Amino acid sequence: MQVIEVGIGPVAPEELVVVAREGAAVRLSDDAEAAIEQSRKLVEALADDVEPHYGISTGFGALATRHIAPELRAQLQRSLVLSHAAGSGPEVEREVVRALMMLRLSTLATGRTGVRLETARAYAALISAGITPVVREYGSLGCSGDLAPLAHCALALLGEGEVRDADDTLLPAAQALADAGIEPVVLAEKEGLALINGTDGMLGMLVLAAHDLHRLLTTADIAAAMSVEALLGSDAVFAADLQALRPHPGQAASAANLKALLEGSLIMASHRDGTCTRVQDAYSLRCAPQVHGAVRDTLAHAETVAGRELASAVDNPVITLDGRVESNGNFHGAPVGYVLDFLAIAVADAASISERRTDRFLDVSRSNGLPPFLADDPGVDSGHMIAQYTQAAIVSELKRLAAPASVDSIPSSAMQEDHVSMGWSAARKLRRAIDGLTRVIAVEVLTAARAIDLRAPLQPAAATGAVVRALREAGVAGPGTDRYLAPEIERAVALVASGEILAAAQSVTGPLS
């Protein structure tokens, strides 16, 4: 099993993905353990201070005015976790829970939270054993971070609540810990707060989304290239000198991909004989690099924010480098919430232009010689008519998901937390949006491949032809009479999601941007 070392520096996005999705184990580095022990000494020195210290000798939130007697402080931390584990609704995906736990461990490893070393080690052991606490869909306002989701994870560390083991079996946390040889933790001063106060859920979902979008956006270029080719469009507009007149990096990368994918297409060459009277293609074809590129640049901005957040130690109060214990507002999820919402907007538009390209194939007045709806016997057969309906339904849903969550603050905690980020909600809807984009791109690939086959005996570009072959080898048949279409759509979705469509194209072009 792969083991990821968690140190005082930021966790790398690719390491987070490996832990979240591939079940990698984790361990604390020597420097992280030293930092944790050093900061814990500061917390313990303040435990008996007559001056109140938030989270150490006081209550929380609106109850921070109460001084807590030393004999009640262990109960205080336990009560915090129990009361905040108040989520409701369906279970959150395993990969999301593992991502947020990995990020919480990364913050503990900075030595800025004041937890004991044995508590941080136990948290790492929970991840390594594949024990996934049951976290519910609803409960986080994104400020003070993702309290309820993180509290459910901390609850499991105490041997309370429900978890799923490495085999995905639902069982009591106490049993799972015993089976894994992990002793339940009895929390000391500051530890309950340190385990639940962070933006780890929304950040974990942002990192996972960015990882998926890199593959999806390149696959969107592949789908667009197939559509341009099969609709007898032109690749002249994708020339590098034209793109350089508007120097957005994402646009240049997308246009370069389209040129590489369409190289050598005999389908496109067939209408360059002087008989074609079209001066320029429709926007959904001609402007694909501009739209796909804008999505890429939005992703780049989101990854910049994610990188800063990965380098952060989000807790309140925090142990500063010079040894102070200070309250702060770094748990507020606004920076992450904004880019999650921004990505949802960009994803919706990428899906929208994909659906418009698909629709052109089905309209005999716009498809440049293809049969209506790409049907074998139009009127008897409906071809891909309803596949486009499926796309349209998803795109409509994505437009609703593009409505920002981060502007919808709602006050809580007796007006102490009077402005919240809703970053968790933004992340949840982005996950649904990315699933929708995957399906929309898959339908475009499926439809464009059928149209390319209908252009026979003209041959497509080598790269787009490789994608068509990948579909056919996966059991998606070529043109013919109507058949049960849903399984073919799902096969195409699986090929897009797994990266097999991308791999097929890159087997010809080499790495695409």
Portions of the chain given CATH number 1.10.275.10 = 3-198
CATH 1.20.200.10 boundaries in the chain: 205-310+344-411+422-509
Q: Summarize pLDDT for 104-114 with one digit per residue, the tens.
A: 999 999 999 99
Catalytic residue among 54, 138, 283, 338: 54
Q: What is the pLDDT of residue 167?
A: 97
Looking at residues 356-368, what average pLDDT do you find? Answer: 97
Confidence category of residue 218, pLDDT binned at 50, 70, 90: very high
> If you search the block for the tokens 């793109």, which residue do you land on?
243
Q: How confident is the model at residue 417 (pLDDT cuts 50, 70, 90)?
A: confident
* pLDDT for residue 63 is more than 80: no
- Nearest CA to 387 out of 478, 513, 476, 489 is that of 489
Which tokens go with 252? 């240049």
> For residues 168 and 91, is the Cβ–Cβ distance under 8 A?
no
Residue 64 has pLDDT above 80, yes or no: no
CATH fold of 205-310+344-411+422-509 reads: Fumarase C; Chain A, domain 2 (1.20.200)
Q: What are phi and psi of 256, to 5 degrees?
A: -65, -40
pTM for this entry: 0.95
Catalytic residue status for 54: yes
Mean pLDDT (whole number) for 444-449: 98
> What distance in Å separates the CA atoms of residue 393 and residue 345, rounded to the nearest whole number?
17
- Token representation of residue 117: 């070393």
DSSP 26-61: EEE-HHHHHHHHHHHHHHHHHTT-SS--TTTTB--G
Strands 170-172 and 162-164: antiparallel
Q: Does domain 3-198 have CATH number 1.10.275.10?
A: yes
Q: Which amino acid is at 486?
A: A
Nearest to 209, CA basis, from 332, 407, 343: 343
**313: amino acid identity, one letter:** A
Q: How many CB atoms neighbour CB 62 within 10 A?
A: 12
Q: How many CB atoms lie within 10 A of CB 484?
A: 6
In this prediction, residue 410 carries a pLDDT of 85
Q: Could you identify the residue written with the tokens 């049951």?
A: 134
| Residue 90 main-chain phi, psi, to 5 deg | -65, 160
pLDDT of 59 reads 64
